[in-house]
Each structure stands twice: as C-alpha cells, then as structure tokens.
Amino acid sequence: MKYTVDENGFYGDFGGAFIPEMLHRNVAELREKYLEIYASDQFQSQFGNLLHDYAGRPTPLYFASRLSKKNGAKIYLKREDLCHTGSHKINNAIGQILLARHLGKTRIIAETGAGQHGVATATVCALMGLKCIVYMGEIDMKRQAPNVARMKMLGAEVRAAVSGSKTLKDATNEAIRDWISNPEDTYYMIGSVVGPHPYPDLVAKFQSVISEETRKQLSEKENRENPDYVIACVGGGSNAAGAFYHYLDEPQVKLIAVEAAGKGVDSGESAATSILGKPGIIHGSKTLLMQTEDGQIVEPYSISAGLDYPGIGPLHAHLFASGRAEFLSATDDEAMKAGLELCRLEGIIPAIESAHALAALEKMRFSADDVVVVCLSGRGDKDLATYIEYFKI
Amino acid sequence: MTRLSKLFNSDKKLLSVYFTAGFPAVGDTVKIITELEKNGVDFIEIGLPFSDPLADGPVIQHSSTAAIENGMTARLLFEQLSGIRTSVKIPLLIMGYFNSILQFGVENFVRKCAEVGINGLIIPDLPFEIYASDYRDIFEKYGLSMVFLVTPQTSDARIRQIDSLSTSFIYLVSSATITGNSSDFGKAQDDYFRRISNLKLKSPCVTGFGIHDKNTFTAATKFTSGAIVGSAFIRYLEKSSIDSIDRFVQQFH
C-alpha cells in the first residue's frame, strides 16, 4: 500500500483538485513547480537554515518520566510547542513563504482557526517583508483574541469571516474567494494538509521535519529509530502528517490519530470526522467530510478552535480507510483533564489541540517497554482564557 | 437538435437568468421559471443551494443559506420540476457544486435531470479533466450537456480543450472574481472577450459574473452570444415580489 500522494494528486480514493476554473492556473503552477523548488539545493539550504536559526529546530524529544510512570510506558513528547510562535505551524509557514518567493508572489493570504497558522503566516511575512492578510472566523477571533493581537502586531491584516459558522471552514472559504479575485500577485498559504492537490502533499513535506527529527532523536535515546506508537491530534491533520510521515511505510509503528469528540461523538456537537463523516468534497479535496444526507457541510464543534474542521486531510482519510492509522477521539472534558494533568506532571501547559493527543494515552493499553511518541503540537498560552473558564482558576 | 443548441442558431443576444432554488420561498421554483420564460428570458440556470459555495459572493451565499434553511434539497427540486416540461419550453440548466451531486449519486442525478427535462449542468468545482475521465459517459448516455467555465486566466490551449469537450456553450467568466461583483466592465474585459472571440471556437460563449444592468449586459455580449444575470436578480428578489419579475427582466431588453 502506498501512503504518499500519487501522480494525479490522490491518496487512494481521496484528494485530487476539485477546484473552480478560476483557481486552475495558480494551482497548476504550484503543482508543476513545487517538487522542483522543494528539491533544489537553494531551497533546502534556506529552509534548513530558517528552521534551525529562526524556528528553533530541532525541537527536543523529551522523555516525560512522570507521565510515563503514570501510563506504564516510555512516553516521549515531541516538543513542537517550543517552536518559535508556539506551534508546529511555523514549519509549514517557512516552507511556503520560501515557495511563494520562488514563485514571485508579493501578497500572502491565509486562513486560520485557532490563530496559530495565522500567527505563523504573519511572522514569516514580517520576516520577508510581504503583505499579509489572514482570514479568521468571527467566532474564532473572539475565542482567540490574543492571537488576533499578535497577528496585528506582526503587521498582518486580520479579516473576519462572517459567513456560515464563522469558524475555520468559513475562513478557508473566504481565503479561497480572495485568491479567485486576486489571481496575479497572491499566494494562498494554506495551514493544514487540506485543500486541492498539491497542498496536502507540500504541507506534509514541510511538516515531515517532525518525524525526521524524531527518528534521529530516538536512535540516540533508545537506540532504535522506530517507536511502537506515534500519537497526534487531527483537525485538518498537519502535525499528525508531519509526525507520521517518515513512519508511514514502517508497519510496526502504530499511528494513532486523535480527533476532537467535542461533547461526545453522538452529541451532535463533535468534530470526529472519521466516525461522523462520509466521502465528499471540501475546499477542493475529496475526503471524509461531516455533512448532511443532502451534502450540506455540517458545522463541527470542539472546545479547541484548531480542531473544529468538518473534514480531514485526504492523507488521513486514506490512513483511516486503509486501516494504516487507528483513529481515536477525545471529548472536551477528556482533553481539558489531560491538559491540566500535563501541567501538573511535567510542568508543561499544552495547547488544547495537543491535549487531545495526550487524552488518548488513558484509552490505550501499553506494555512497560513500549516506546510512545506524542506530538505536543503547540503550547497552551493562547488557551489560557479557555483553561481559566473551564477550571474556574 | 437539442433545445440548447437550437437557441444558438439565431443572432439574438441571449438573456439567461440564474436563481437559487428555494429562495425566497421553498415553493417558488416553478413560478419563477414560468415568470422568467413569460418575460422573454432565453434560458434559465436553476441554482441548487450548497452550504459552501466557493465561487459565489455574499448575495448568492445568502440566498443559498436561506434556501437550505427553507428545506430545499436536490430531491425536492426534482419533485418540483417533475411537470415543468408540460408548460416551459426554454432550456433549463442546473448549477450546483459537485458535493451535492456526488451525494445524490452522479448517475442518479444526471438521470433525474434527463427525466424532468433539464438540458445541462454547470458544476464550477468539477474540473473538465475529471469530467472527461470519470463522468463524460454518463452525461452522453442521458444526453445532458456539461457547461465549463473559462476565465481570463485560462490559457488558449486549455480553452481549446474545453471547447472540444463542450456540447452546448462555454461559460465565460467576465473577470477574476466571485459572483456578484458590481463594478462596470472596462478595457480589460473588452480585450479578453475579443481574445476569446478571435479563437474562433466551435462552441458559442455566454458571459457571466458581474452582469447587473443593461450596460454590463451590452458590454458582455458584444463578442458573445449572450449573458447570464445572477446576483442582480437575487438582490431584486430580496426586495421585490416574485409577481414583479417582469420589471426586472425588462431592463435587459
């Protein structure tokens, strides 16, 4: 079984580029050029240098001893939360801003949910001196006000998406509509492994540094490159794609994707796409999608603004359908509890997105010598208001 | 000869109107179609509302959301259209996004269209390559036309491929925009329409996006066979009764 993208932009039955003709030229340009640019020495050296000197990579692979003791396995945290801007999103933003520059684009647009990708985009645009417009759902702007302020400080314009559910899905719609209306100078910097081909592949490649480092770090610490488990949360699925990437063809490594169950998978307020979704088209990609019988896209719910996407990346849809990855889900309550537990056990305040991955630990059975890598995709500073309200701190 | 191709035999500049099925009220579909035909509209695009219409501006986003809330579905639309060919003679097309059609089942959808007398489909997010490889046979089996979009960014080579696949007309998107743009047309559009005209395509072209009054209609049809009015009609319906559709259509004659 092949888990990477095929020549037509598909992962098994999922993926492709179901886009209006207005986007054809820009998407085709990207498709024709991204592999060559990505493989060039110049790009690799610029990308590597910025990841190292600017983003602060490699991020530590930290052996969480107290968390390990509690769960009866050797648990390592891949510390993406220590990246510049506070999450793994910067990896992709650096890759794509270099790509945009190679393509000669001068105006950058992006969508953001929790604001982490928006902040990462605003950051690299400031770094490169490029104009930056970030679309963000009106509701998310309220939930994640500190990130809105950060983007503004970094010189970005934040535009509220007021259509539909006013969250990530709608911000993505607005960004795509902007790209349709500005086809000449604009680059669309998508934040997850979603959207039309080649975005899912290029974002996965830029995030694959996570598993590339994990392999090296594990061989130093455990004398083996492969863990028994890799656990990551999935909204669109970019940190999971990066954490899984170099293990996709290592069947002995069990890949665990954790979705947001919200108030419960069957509560009607959930974002557990693999369970609740059916194949459909969202944002130019064929994937598993939460929708009505009539094909209207359903509004997802999660306490975490980074996980309430009604689809998942087509790579993940393929990993689910093929059984290569196991999909679990964690409710709001389980994630919040796991987040606070990490604070108390390890002195690390995780993003609520990442707390969903941590919440999976309790649902699993380990042997004492199992090596488990959890991708700690982001830090929880942006979520303080939610933590404070939830725990009445 | 099909209803659609017959239409393009005359020199008349064709007027087409788009409306969202289920808007303003869920039961308005047949009445709107009948009124549009009575007032001299040459063919009609019936919009199947979708929750996330990527190529549409705020006006059609709003009419789509309202139509879905009113209970419009593909199934209901086909029920409403089931007797339409006993009275309505002009060509009818459905414009919808691919997910709605995928969920209905592509062949089911195309068969239902043929049964009720729909002549063609416009599916903005189904690229012609995927149509050609996966769905063309189904459309041919049921004798339905697929209408493709061409934009100012579409290369000449690609336009020729689209032309060769087209069986009725090509939908010329007036500029790099989503629907509902209310700016006037300038030299850029004129040059673009002229460029397309100079390609001497086998298929006639009809212009859409941004046609909102007599001026834009005239400019849009200078080099093409006709133009489609969408958002401007929806805006009119937001304010006026469907009994006064005649007044809206008159301004284009």
Q: Please indicate, yes or no, whether residues A64 and A80 belong to a single structural domain of this protein.
A: yes
A122-151, pLDDT tens digit by residue? 999 999 999 999 999 998 898 888 899 999
Q: Are A88 and A207 in contact (CB under 8 A)?
A: yes
- Expressed as residue numbers, the domain containing A179 is 11-50+89-203
Task: Give the CA count within 13 Å in the CB-facing half-sphere of A155.
Answer: 13
Is there a domain that residue A2 lies in? no
Question: Hey, what amino acid is at A275?
Answer: I
Alpha helical stretches, state H, A144-208: 145-153, 168-181, 199-207
The residue out of A152, A174, A203 marking a domain boundary is A203
Annotated catalytic residue B79: no
Helix, coil or strand: residue A330: strand
Q: Where are the domains of chain B?
A: 14-250
A22-69, pLDDT tens digit by residue? 999 999 999 999 999 999 999 999 999 999 999 999 999 999 999 999
Q: Residue B185 contacts by C-beta under 8 Å, 6 or more apart in sequence?
A: B174, B175, B210, B215, B216, B219, B220
- Cα–Cα distance for residue pair A282/B110, rounded to 1 Å: 21
- Cα–Cα distance for residue pair A361/A344, rounded to 1 Å: 16
Q: Which of B45, B184, B190, B191 is catalytic?
A: B45
Q: Which CATH superfamily does the domain covering B14-250 fall into?
A: Aldolase class I (3.20.20.70)
CA distance A382 to chain B (A): 29
CATH number of the structural domain spanning residue A177: 3.40.50.1100
Q: Please indicate, yes or no, whether residues A221 and A355 belong to a single structural domain of this protein.
A: yes
B47-69, pLDDT tens digit by residue? 999 999 999 999 999 999 999 99
Is there a domain that residue A285 lies in? yes
Are B127 and A24 a contacting pair at CB < 8 A?
yes
The residue out of A162, A184, A203 marking a domain boundary is A203
Are B127 and A21 a contacting pair at CB < 8 A?
yes
Question: Hey, what amino acid is at A13?
Answer: D
Angle at B70 between CA B67 and CA B76, to 5 degrees: 80
DSSP state of B213: S
A301-343, pLDDT tens digit by residue? 999 988 989 999 999 999 999 999 999 999 999 999 999 999 9
Of A14, A24, A166, which to mutate for an interface test with B (greatest number of B Cβ within 10 Å)? A24
DSSP β-bridge partners for residue B120 = B93, B145
Please name the member of B52, B104, B126 whose beta carbon is closest to the beta carbon of A18: B126
Q: Are A258 and A359 in contact (CB under 8 A)?
A: yes
DSSP codes, B183-201: PPP-HHHHHHHHHHHHT--
ipTM: 0.95
Give the total number of structural domains in chain A: 2
Residues of A with a catalytic annotation lie at: 89, 111, 377
Are A164 and B52 a contacting pair at CB < 8 A?
yes
Which residue on chain A is closest to B98 by alpha carbon?
A: A281
The residue out of A168, A203, A238 marking a domain boundary is A203
Task: Retrieve residue A18's tokens.
Answer: 């179901």
pTM comes to 0.96
Q: Please indicate, yes or no, whether residues A228 and A196 belong to a single structural domain of this protein.
A: no
Find tokens 């794509």 and name the residue: A96
More confident residue, A144 or B206: B206
Chain A residues lying within 8 Å of B52, measured CB to CB: 164, 169, 173, 282, 297
- Cα–Cα distance for residue pair A124/A54, rounded to 1 Å: 10
Is there a domain that residue A6 lies in? no
Are B154 and A25 a contacting pair at CB < 8 A?
yes
